[in-house]
Amino acid sequence: MSTPSWLLSYTKPSLAAVKKSTAVYPDPPSFNKDIILNTKAKHGKEIVGPTSEERDTLKVKKAWEIALAPSKSLPMNAIMSYFSGSSLQIFSLTMTFMLFSNPAKAIANVGPTFARYESESTFSRILQAKLVFIALQLATVAVGLWKMGSMGVLPTKRSDWLAWESETPVLERGVFMS
């Protein structure tokens, strides 16, 4: 016994619908199939899509644009860091935090960011862009480090290690009889 058609139409509704839509249903009113399909005939010229090289160049160009984007915000970050002062305030602290968190996020997402432009043929060129992108993000981190340094939260001075210094052992035991 073969499967009844009503069961098929319920279990495989899409197939049936697609088939029906193309085959059975008429075009909507005022839809002129000829105009849409025969553009060549109308314009007298064949539309040719971009070649794969062109496509790749475009992709690489786009990738480079993304890779160099951080360089635009870098001077602004640096200037803001400089002018926000070295005091420990909520504004400068958040800003400093951003200087670390954003590059970290960007570096972590470097694959997905460039995935759209990646293909086997552009791999090496995209890799360059990626490296530049990472380098620029690291430059942002460097600004953050400089900011932290100016805020005095980097253990760069002697006093930062004072707590780890141990007392000088004393050899003699002296007792003063008051």
Partner 1 sequence: MHVRALSLFLALATATLVRALFADEAFVVDWHIASIGSIAPSRALVSPDSVTVFSESSVLASLDTVNGTVRWRHLLDESAVSQHSHLTRLDSSAVLLVAATPADAAITHVAAWFEDSGYLIWDAYLSGGAPVGVSVAGDVYILLSGGKIQRLSRSTGSVVGEYSLPDGYSPVDIVASKDSISVITRKQDKGLGYFVLTGGSGELADDTYILIDKNPAAVSVTKAEGYNSNIIAWTVPGEFMTIKIAGMSGTSAQPLTVTPKAPYASFSLTSSTSGVVATITGIDGKSWTETYIFSRGKLTLVGATDPTESALAVSDGTLFKISKTSISSFALTTTGAKLASNTEIQLPPSSVEFAKCGSSACLVGFKNGEYVLATTTTGVAWTRDESIADVVSALFVDLEEEGESSSLGEVLFEENAAPLQAYIHRVRRHWKALAGLPQYLIGFFQRFLSGDYDAVPVDPNSTVSDTFGFRKFVVLATTRGSLRALDTAHAGAFAWKVDDVLESDAIVGIVQGDAKDELYVVGAFGTVAYVNALTGKVMTISKIADFGLGDKVESVVAFVHDGVQYIAAWTAHGQLHFLKASSPATSIYFSKVIDNVVAGYVFKEDRLIPTWQFTLPTSYKISSFAARHPGDKTVSLGRVLGDRSVLYKYLNPHILAVAAVDDTTKSAAVFLIDDVSGRLLYSSFHENEAVDTAAGVKLVVGEHWVVYSYWSDLPARGEKLVVLDMYESDIKNERWSKDQNFSSFTETPLPFVQGQAYLFPEHITSLAVSRSRFGITNRDIIATLDTAQIAVLPKRLLDARRPINRDPTNDEKEEGLVKYDALIGEDKRFIVSHVYNVLGTKKTICSPAYLESTVLVFAYGLDLFFTRITPSQPFDLLSKSFNKGQLLLTIFALMVGVRFTSPIVKRKQLNMRWGTQK
CB 95 within 8 A of CB 32: no
Beta carbons within 10 angstroms of residue 91's beta carbon: 11
Binding pattern to partner 1, positions 118-157, x when CB under 8 A?
A: ----------------------------------x----x
Regarding 163 and contact with partner 1 (CB under 8 A), the answer is: yes
Regarding 162 and contact with partner 1 (CB under 8 A), the answer is: yes
- How remote is the C-alpha of 51 from its chain's centroid? 28
Quick one: which of 160, 153, 139 has its CA closest to 89?
153
Q: Which of 1, 37, 41, 175 binds partner 1 (CB under 8 A)?
A: 175
Q: Between 57 and 86, name the residue whose CB sits nearer to partner 1.
A: 86
The pair of three-digit structure tokens given for residue 10, joined into one six-digit string = 């319920």
Least distance CB 145 / partner 1 (angstroms): 17
Quick one: which of 97, 53, 54 has its CA closest to 77?
97
Residues that bind partner 1 (CB under 8 A): 152, 157-160, 162-163, 165, 167-178
